[in-house]
Structure 1
């Protein structure tokens, strides 16, 4: 009997050990080519944080021709780097997705102007370069706030030459991207972050299927916690994450990565706002309602859309990954 008990105990021990080693495979799809704005996720891979939480994470890069929502909803990815307006619109159209965490407390989107512009109110006398996607996201907000007109807008094709050539122009930009390129080209500029003027969306969110939240809440919780710990680690020492970023995106240079990290810190994207007191990744009902109200007011979302399905705070309300 004693021998039998010992054998059973050994078998259970072996099974438990094997289970602990069998990490859950997860595919995370980013929104663009690898860059500092994705650093926390790469850091969690590079430093073994995901592994610590029993996750085997593959990061798949997005890009201009990648339909992230389609890939997520078809089951080819488990999590998506999302954007609040896109997620709200997807829910309105019947795509059952939901946001489970916000890496950034605000969007990095803003306006790059020539250095004679003192505020966004000065845009009334400027030509504004707006991308196709910008026309159904931030442009309606900016127009309404500063009484701008569609007639003064032109198409932004992600080429900076029109901005360089026209001193009366302004264009959409990320502080970590277009501003960096303009500085390298020696073009003096100023940058205005829309969030500083009240643009409400979160940035670099984690989106998954509502079914995943229902069926695998423990997996979602582990991925969210590990990712937020990855962001905290990235701010402390980005070198491990940056090495993987450059491996995925060889065009990314050290100086741009350093600039990107500097801007994440300068604008306190990760550890500012509510994250300063509630922890990295946090979200609130009030902020989501502000985004919903802006979209409804701008005609971007139907008033009867079930917008509360577009997010859940269950994975971040008690997370407490403090900066």
Structure 2
């Protein structure tokens, strides 16, 4: 979901989207925000393959929340070579889900997109090590083999090491990590990048050959970039900046966000049901893995003190600062300057929150308590 090349040119996704962007006949459909019985077709480009990371959108479709708003939403599955913000900027989708730093890099390259809903209020990125490695903080990574996915997913790691006084290009041995945890399990690397809702669970779904039982959290230590002060904003809903000048698109955006809020609130209160919806959608991951992912994803959203989707100025500033100042191993930064123009706005999410609250939706989730999920071998 986050494994998209950050410096990919805006034209990259054009050919790749040809097979995935089919839509209903638009000719008989009213303009966005228009009245009438027909539903307005909407395409939402996801950041990765179907999984619980996108449970709220899947639920909003399944439970009819988008239809309540007069929208017929088609979810476009992501993939390795699909850049959601590029798809949006090229007019192949109406909205897109993307990590903030990667989307801002695309903006700097010319993509006209705006963050209109910061669904994930917290980062879910970890660096995971064996408990007996003695590695507890970013400073302890000095001289170690450090795995990371690259493609712009490494900046929290690099920022954390830089903050700890390490030079990511000199003080550690960087290893290109596959999108799994095999290198750590085989002890080919000392630290592995992982998302709390995905790869970390893969470790706990693996069998310890010495005991014949599954590994547990006691076997590993986690460096959480939220604790290290180098976390960055991740999954957000992005809209077309130019279209936001159109009152009809503005209204459509509020409706889309209103239904999206309902979808995520539904998944907060019905995690197992949402897990089943994700599995039925065709996820390649198993039921226990998806329930873990749904639970961990909810932790990144709830509680939402200011309301789900509201962009926190301090978190935004930290993301931008890291994007401009943290260098990767080749000396490049995510951004060369501060974002210009309408990089984000809370105008539409605040209107959507008001509408959702009027419909009886809990938009803050202050009483949310994560569940305890039991994983099975392979996440089945």
| TM-score, normalised by the number of residues in structure 2 | 0.73
Q: Which has the higher contact order (CA 8 A, sep 6+)?
A: 1
SS of residue in 2 equivalent to 1:192: strand
1:68 to 68, 84, 89: 84
Q: What is aligned with 2:67?
A: 51
Cα drift, residue 19 of structure 1: 4.0
Instruction: Provide the C-alpha distance between the structure 2 equivalents of 1:308 and 1:255, rounded to a whole number of angstroms.
Output: 43
Identify which range, 283-292 or 250-259, moves more after superposition: 283-292
Identify which range, 250-259 or 96-105, moves more after superposition: 250-259
Instruction: Provide the C-alpha distance between the structure 2 equivalents of 1:45 and 1:164, rounded to a whole number of angstroms.
Output: 38
Q: Does 1:190 align with 2:237?
A: no
Answer yes or no: is the 8 Å Cα contact 1:271–1:279 preserved in 2.
no
Answer yes or no: is the 8 Å Cα contact 1:34–1:249 preserved in 2.
yes
Q: Does 1:203 align with 2:234?
A: yes
1:121 to 133, 139, 144: 139
Q: Does 1:40 align with 2:73?
A: no
Q: What is aligned with 1:283?
A: 311
Answer yes or no: is the 8 Å Cα contact 1:97–1:310 preserved in 2.
yes
Answer yes or no: is the 8 Å Cα contact 1:47–1:240 preserved in 2.
no
Larger radius of gyration: 1
Q: What is aligned with 1:169?
A: 190
Answer yes or no: is the 8 Å Cα contact 2:60–2:263 preserved in 1.
yes
Q: What is aligned with 1:7?
A: none
Alpha-carbon deviations, 1:258-300, whole Å to 9, x = none?
11122234xx31123xx22x21111133322221122222233
SS of residue in 2 equivalent to 1:107: coil
Instruction: Provide the C-alpha distance between the structure 1 equivalents of 2:256 and 2:230, rounded to a whole number of angstroms.
Output: 28
SS of residue in 1 equivalent to 2:119: strand
Q: What is aligned with 1:322?
A: 364
Alpha-carbon deviations, 1:189-222, whole Å to 9, x = none?
2333312322343221001210222221000111
Q: Does 1:302 align with 2:330?
A: no
Q: What is aligned with 1:156?
A: 177
Q: What is aligned with 2:117?
A: 101
Instruction: Provide the C-alpha distance between the structure 2 equivalents of 1:196 and 1:50, rounded to a whole number of angstroms.
Output: 36
Cα drift, residue 183 of structure 1: 1.0
Answer yes or no: is the 8 Å Cα contact 1:88–1:307 preserved in 2.
no
1:112 to 115, 125, 128: 128
Cα drift, residue 65 of structure 1: 1.8
Alpha-carbon deviations, 1:6-54, whole Å to 9, x = none?
xxxxxxxxxxxx9442121111111111111111111111111111111
Any residues of structure 2 matched to 1:169-248 within 5 Å, and which? 169-186=190-207, 187=215, 188-215=219-246, 216-248=249-281
Answer yes or no: is the 8 Å Cα contact 1:87–1:310 preserved in 2.
no
Answer yes or no: is the 8 Å Cα contact 2:102–2:334 preserved in 1.
no
Q: Does 1:249 align with 2:265?
A: no
Which one has a larger percent helix, Structure 1 or Structure 2? 1
Instruction: Provide the C-alpha distance between the structure 2 equivalents of 1:322 and 1:136, rounded to a whole number of angstroms.
Output: 30
Instruction: Provide the C-alpha distance between the structure 2 equivalents of 1:193 and 1:51, rounded to a whole number of angstroms.
Output: 39
1:132 to 133, 143, 150: 150
Structure 2, unaligned stretches of length 5 or more? 1-33, 208-214, 327-332, 355-362, 366-380
Answer yes or no: is the 8 Å Cα contact 1:246–1:253 preserved in 2.
yes
| TM-score, normalised by the number of residues in structure 1 | 0.85
Answer yes or no: is the 8 Å Cα contact 2:43–2:74 preserved in 1.
yes
Q: 1:135 to 1:50 in 2, by over 3 A?
A: closer
| Number of residue equivalences | 300
Q: 1:260 to 1:97 in 2, by over 3 A?
A: same
